[in-house]
Every structure is written in structure tokens, then in C-alpha cells.
Amino acid sequence: MATPAVNNNNTEIEKVKSPSGFKIIVREFIKDKVALISLILFLGIVLYVYIYSMGLDTKEVTRVDIFNQFQEPGPVHWLGTDYGGRDVYNQLILGARNSLTIGIAITLITSIIGIALGLLAGYYGGWVDNVVMRTVDFVLVLPALMIIIVYVSIVPEFDVRKFIFIMSLFYWTSKCRLIRSKALAEREHEYVAASKTLGTPDWKIMLFQVLPNLSSIIIVNMTLNLAGNIGIETSLTYLGFGLPESVPSLGTLISYSRNPEVMENKPWVWLPAAILILVLMLCINFIGNALKRAADARQRLG
Amino acid sequence: MANQPLLQIKNLTTSFRIQDEYYPAVDNVSLNVNENEVLAIVGESGCGKSALALSIMRLHNELNTKLEGEVNFKGQNLLSLSTAEMNKYRGKEMGMIFQDPLTALNPLMRIGQQIEEAMRNHLDLSDAEMKARSLELLKKVGIPNPERTYMQFPHELSGGMRQRVVIAIAISCEPKFLIADEPTTALDVTIQAQILDLMLELQEQMKTGIILITHDLGVVAEMADRVAVMYAGQIVEIADVYTLFRNPLHPYTRSLFNSIPSAAEGSDRLHVIQGIVPSLKNLPRTGCRFSNRIPWIKESAHESNPTLHEVEKDHWVRCTCYQDFHFPGDAEAEKI
């Protein structure tokens, strides 16, 4: 918060103006060097992965070339090849793209469902709240992991889109609960009633008055969730219940290390993917924490 | 005075649901508000004055509130309207000023946007016209630098300034009827006086009918034309302000006046009304609701089903107990 000074002229008035939300975030990142580096690194990786992968063909990359099995990293294959003679570097790029796409898509879809339902439940309360919350409870008691595993084994030609679908089906509940609880508190504020007395319809109040007041929580929650969702994809694939080998992801690359021979003697196959996941997770978490502090005045550094 | 009242409340009962049963917080209230008239509603916390105000605007959560009776505004029963039809009245025909200006403003919206909200809903104006009008409104409510305030956020303003903004929002479409729900409670005393002056001034200019909800009898004396005293969801006394202050009749009204600290008299102890307002669930449904707080008055003085009696012209009092009422200390004096 800027310290109020005596205003002699207009330029000083401008200075006293408290910073907008975006400026607070910028300041937080400038103060927190780790978060700033994380942000640059993360954006760099994302941009590089998406741009580079545009020139790659999944079929080409995943074509088995048995004569090139387990090549060590060299000038032709930067990071060597796996047991099918496939280039690890290209798989890494495609895998990172797929994993990021899955993570981002699941985060967005679950957020949209969670925000919409949570906002409705929290704003209206009563039976609306009851219906939504009992639905959430129902979804929560389902053994999600088991259903996902069954779905993966049953559905032929499992791909990125189907994976996003089945994951989104189960992971919107916690967001819905979070938003609902915040909306419950927010709707009691008088500005909601005040807005009603001005003849503003409910949907407008929900979208343009209540939702912006929840935005900080939503942004923080989405960021931290992104890391979690990438993690879920990777671990499921590692266990063999995620994407097939024809669709490379960070998880498929790491899952090659289930073979002890690869694990011990051919680290170039799985190590890059593992490091990339580590770096991405740390980056996202540092960024998320910086955003979290920016949203809470008491924790701010800047 | 107009022949038809601006707002006419007939037998309004507002019931809240508590564990699947409805309890009336506002019980059978009938009121009239004329144009260019300030009606004050006084009463202690929890007596149903805010519930009444919110019922008029239909701001209660409809899922657990039941409204019965009629609220006729310019001849139209508001309770029979759909929400969309109601929204045409809210803001345009009737406005509301809230108690706490800090929470009544959205912390994330600039002042200008918030003032324009009602205009956007009801008036067909261009952005430039709305801005011009907003600035004019800000000037009207006494904000020194409208251009600057227009772009500011609520937290950058002081309490008094915020309440001015809230008033500006309420009058932005020049409604004929305003509800002011304890508009000065959250402000300090000097600002209170300024805000009340401002409201009176605007009321005179725009000839608005106002329901002023307060528990401050000083505010009532300054602002009101007529006063309704509420206790436990019912109106116990209603009269014009001079009559009520000169000749309060109902025991509750008299107790209220007796509870005002006075510097003039050398009375060493302040009068305290015994007991507390019964909670909504335990409210006696029959008999005089005030009887258990004046236990020294004998049962027979109360009516079994108290109604409003017109003791003089336009001065109504509920129950007959006012005739035999005296304060405990005065008992001997009265007997002699």
C-alpha cells in the first residue's frame, strides 16, 4: 500500500493511487527472484515445447526402428534412443506437449465446471445448494482411480482427448466445494443486496460482482492444480493406466525405467523426462505461491 | 398530501424458515408512506425493522422466507411480481441506502461503474451521458473532487465519503421511494450529522418518500415526519413525530424515551428495560408481547388479543396496557 502523502498537484495524486491487482502481482514477482526465474523458465519451456512440436509428426517420432535400439546420446540423437530405436529428444518434446496440454485442459475444464456449479450453489443456497453439494458428495465417494483404470483398459484407442475427458469427470469436485464456500461468504456482503436493489439480475451479480471477488482464489487454485494435474497424468501413465506408447508423454518416457536394465544402465531414456517434470512442478509451485502471496496483503513481499 | 399513498403495506407478514417451520419476524404490519414524507421506524435490535425493509424490496432469500400480505407501490402489489418484473422497480422506482457503506460497495469496482449500474439497468443512456450524470450525482452528494472519485475504488474513500457514494447510487435513477436502513449507524457523530443533512436536502429537492430505519431517537427527531415504533415484529405505536415525542403512550415507547441519557436532570440511574427481546422461536403468539418485560403491570391491564387503537387522530397504540402503565419507581407516587 502506498503511503499517503500531501497532495500538491495531480502528479502526486497519481502516485498515491493504490496499485491495481496486476501491478501487485508484477511487484511480487520482481521481489521474489525465485518466482521470477520460475516464471521465465516455465514460459520458456512451454513456448519452446509447443513451437518445436509443431514441426514433429507423432507417427514419425514413434515409428519403431529396431536397428537403432538404445543408442547413446550423440550428434544424431541428442538424447539417444529408447528400446524401439525412437529418438528420446523428440519424444520428450512431444511428451511434454501432451502432458502440458492434458494438465492445462483438465485444469480449465474442471475450473469451469467447478466455478459454475459452485457459484450457483453458493449464491442461491437452499435446494440448489443441496442438489449440487449432494452431487459432489456422490462423485467424491466413487472410487475415481478404479473407474479411470477400468475406463482406460476398456476404451480402444485411448488418446489425449479421452484422457482429459475421464479425468475432468472426477476432478471438478474440490473446486466446486472451494468456490461454493467462498461464494456463500461473499453473497452475504451487502454489495450483493445493494446491487439487487438497483435492479441488477442475479446472473449479472454472480458473474460481474461475486466472481471477480473470488478471482484471486481461483487463479491461485488453478495454478497449483495445474502442477497436480500434470502429476496425476504422469503417475497414471507410469503405472501403465494412462496414455499408450503411441502417444508419448512424460509419463510414458519415465515408465520405460520399469525395466531394470534401462533404469540402471540407460538413464538417458528416462532421466530427461524426470528432470523436466521436476523443473515444471517446481516452477509452477513457485509461481503459484507468489500469486498466493500477491492475493493476500499480509503475506506480500513487494 | 396525495390521495393515494405512495407505498401501502397491508398486513405484511414475513416468516423465516427455521428447521422446517416458519416463524414470523414481521407480523401483520400495515403502513402507509406518502410522497415527500419521511416515515421513521424505530425499535431495538431484532424487532424486525430491517426484515420489514428487506421485505419491501424483496431481498430475502426466497427459498427460506415466506411473504404474506400486500406491498402496494403506486397501486401495484410488489409481492405478486416475478423477479424480472421486480427488477424493473428496484433502482428505478425505489432505492435503498445500506447501513454499512464499506460492505455495500463492491471492493473491486470503481466508484463510477457502481453508480452507473442502476442507470445501465434502467435508463437508455450512452457511456458519456452516464459519466456526466455520475459526476453530477457525486457533486450533488457533496464529494469535493468528482472526477477523481469516479475513478477510485471504495477502499480509497473515507467512511463518510463512501456513504455519500452509496446515497448517490441509490438516487441515481431518481426513485420516488427510498429505504434507508440505519444509514448513519456505521459513521461517527460529526459525519452522521452531515449525512442526515444531505439526505434531508435531497429529500426536499426530489420529494421522495423515505422509510428511515433507525434506533437513534435523535435521528428520528431530526428527520422524520411520522414515526412507527416496532416491537417483536409488530407495530406498537404510530404517530406523527411531534405527537410521539410530546405524548408517547405505549409502554415500550415510553421506556425507550426513558432510556435516553439526559444531561439536564440529575437522575443518577438510567432506566433499563427489563429482560430481552424474545427470540423468534419463543415469541408469545397471543397476548401483549411486551407484557413479560413490564411484569409489575397486572395481567388484566393487557388485552388478550392486542389491536391498534386510535387514541387521537392518526395516533395509534397497540394493546390497552398503556392506560395503566407506570414506571416501577413512580408506583407510590401514582397511588397517592
Residue B73 bridge partners (DSSP): B7, B76
Decide if A70 contacts A83 (C-beta within 8 A).
Answer: yes
Q: Please, how many CA atoms are within 13 Å of residue B14, restricted to the half-sphere of its CB? A: 28
Rounded to whole angstroms, how far apart are CA atoms B164 and A122?
31
What is the distance between the alpha carbons of residues A196 and B299, in angstroms, rounded to a whole number?
Answer: 46
Mean pLDDT of the region B172-190: 87
Give per-residue burial for B179-217: e unless 16+ CB within 10 Å, then b.
Answer: bbbbbbebbeeebbeebbebbeebbeeeebbbbbbbbbb
- Nearest-by-CA chain B residue for A123: B61
Is the Cβ of A260 closer than 8 Å to some Cβ of chain B?
no
- For chain A, how big is the Rg over CA atoms in Å? 24
Q: Name A3's bridge partners.
A: none
Work out the pLDDT band at B17, boundaries 50, 70, 90.
confident
Query: Nearest-CA neighbor of A175 among A123, A133, A218?
Result: A218
Average pLDDT score over residue span A208-234: 88
**Average pLDDT of span B186-207:** 86
**Is residue A4 predicted with pLDDT exceeding 70?**
no
Please, are residues B184 and B219 in contact by the beta-carbon 8 Å criterion?
Answer: yes
Q: What is the dihedral of CA B100, B102, B103, B104, to 10 degrees?
A: 70
Residues B241 and B221: beta-carbon distance below 8 Å: yes
pLDDT for B211: 92
Q: Residue A212's closest chain B neighbor by CA? A: B108
Q: Is the pLDDT of residue A46 over 80?
A: yes
Q: Are A67 and A224 in contact (CB under 8 A)?
A: no
Contacts of B105 in chain A (CB under 8 A): 191, 194
Q: Which residues of B touch A (CB under 8 A)?
A: 54, 57, 59, 61, 63-64, 83-84, 87-92, 94-96, 98-100, 103-109, 117-118, 121-122, 148, 152-153, 155-156, 166, 169-170, 172
Least confident among A10-24, A280-294, B271-285: A10-24
Residue A216, min C-alpha distance to chain B (Å): 11
Q: Which residue has the higher pLDDT, B301 or B329?
A: B301
pLDDT in the model for residue A193: 87
- Alpha carbon A15 to chain centroid distance? 36
The listed range with the strongest mean pLDDT (A75-89, A148-162, A277-291) is A277-291
Among A222, A280, A298, which residue's Cα sits nearest to residue A49? Answer: A280
Contact by Cβ (8 Å): B321, B297? yes
pLDDT of residue A131: 94
Is there a contact between B46 and B31 (Cβ–Cβ < 8 Å)? Answer: no
Per-residue confidence (pLDDT) for residue B268, from 0 to 100: 67
Question: Chain A: residue nearest B119 by CA?
Answer: A198
Residue A71, helix vs strand vs coil: coil
Whether residue A238 is predicted with pLDDT greater than 80 in this model: the reply is yes
- How far does chain B reach from its first CA to its final CA, in angstroms? 46
The predicted structure's pLDDT at residue B280: 78
- pLDDT at B134 > cutoff 90: yes
pLDDT at B2 over 90: no
- B317, β-bridge pairs: B237, B309
**How far apart, in whole angstroms, are the C-alpha atoms of residue B14 and residue A301?**
50
Q: Rounded mean pLDDT of chain B? A: 85
C-beta of residue B237 within 8 angstroms of C-beta of residue B59: no
Using a CB–CB cutoff of 8 Å, tell me whether A20 touches chain B. Answer: no
For position A110, what pLDDT does the model report? 94
Q: Can you name the residues that pair with B15 across neighbouring β-strands?
A: B24, B66
ipTM of the complex: 0.77
**Is the pLDDT at A118 greater than 90, yes or no?**
yes
The residue of chain A nearest to residue B60, with distances taken between CA atoms, is A193
Q: A130-134, A250-254, B280-284: lowest mean pLDDT where?
A: B280-284
| pLDDT-wise least confident of A216-225, B154-163, B194-203, B279-288 | B279-288
Q: Does A193 touch chain B (CB under 8 A)?
A: yes
Mean pLDDT of B253-270: 76
Q: Which of B119, B117, B116, B112 is nearest to B143 (CA)?
A: B112
Q: Is B236 helix (H, G, I), strand (E, B) or coil?
A: strand
Which residue(s) pair with B90 in the sheet? Answer: B94
Closest Cα partner for A253 from A6, A21, A86? A86
Whole-angstrom CA distances from A71 to A36, A74, A79, B94 are 37, 8, 9, 80
Report pLDDT digits (tens) over B294-321.
888 887 788 888 888 888 888 888 888 8
What is the rounded average pLDDT of the residues A128-146? 92
Cα–Cα dist A34/B19, whole Å: 53
Determine contact: A217 vs chain B, CB below 8 A: no
Q: Band the pLDDT of B330: cuts 50, 70, 90.
A: low
**What domains are there in chain A, each with its CATH number?**
22-295 (1.10.3720.10)
Closest Cβ–Cβ partner in B61, B90, B107 for A197: B90
Taking residues B48-70, what's their average pLDDT?
A: 87
What gap in Å lies between CA B336 and CA B324, rounded to an integer?
Answer: 15
- DSSP three-state, residue B8: strand
**What angle (nearest 5°) sits at the alpha carbon of residue A199, between those of residues A198 and A202?**
115
Task: Kindly report the average pLDDT of chain A as a whole number.
Answer: 85
For the CA atoms of B104, B109, B113, B116, the dihedral, rounded to the nearest 10 degrees, stands at: -20
Q: Give the CA count within 13 Å in the CB-facing half-sphere of B155.
A: 10
Comparing alpha-carbon positions, the chain B residue that sits nearest to A213 is B108
Chain A residues touching residue B169 (CB < 8 angstroms): 194, 198
Q: Is A4 on the interface with B (CB under 8 A)?
A: no
**For residue B142, is pLDDT > 90?**
no
Sign of CA dihedral B203, B209, B212, B218: positive
Given a contact cutoff of 8 angstroms between Cβ atoms, the answer to whether B68 and B12 are in contact is yes
Query: Cα distance from A119 to chain B (closest Cα, Å)?
Result: 16
Helices (H), ranges, B58-170: 83-89, 101-104, 111-122, 127-140, 146-150, 159-170
What pLDDT does A77 receive?
79
- pLDDT value of residue A104: 92
CA distances from B18 to B32, B68, B146 (A): 30, 17, 46
DSSP state of A62: T
- How high is the pLDDT of residue B329? 67
- A38-47, A288-297, B114-123: least confident range: A288-297
| pLDDT above 90 as % of chain A | 31
Q: In angstroms, rounded to a whole number, what is the distance separating the alpha carbons of residues A214 and B222?
A: 41
Chain A residues with CB under 8 Å of B90 CB are: 196-199
Closest approach of A288 to chain B, Cα-based (Å): 22
B94 pairs with which residues across the strands? Answer: B90, B177
Calculated CA dihedral for residues B104, B134, B56, B64, nearest 10 degrees: -40
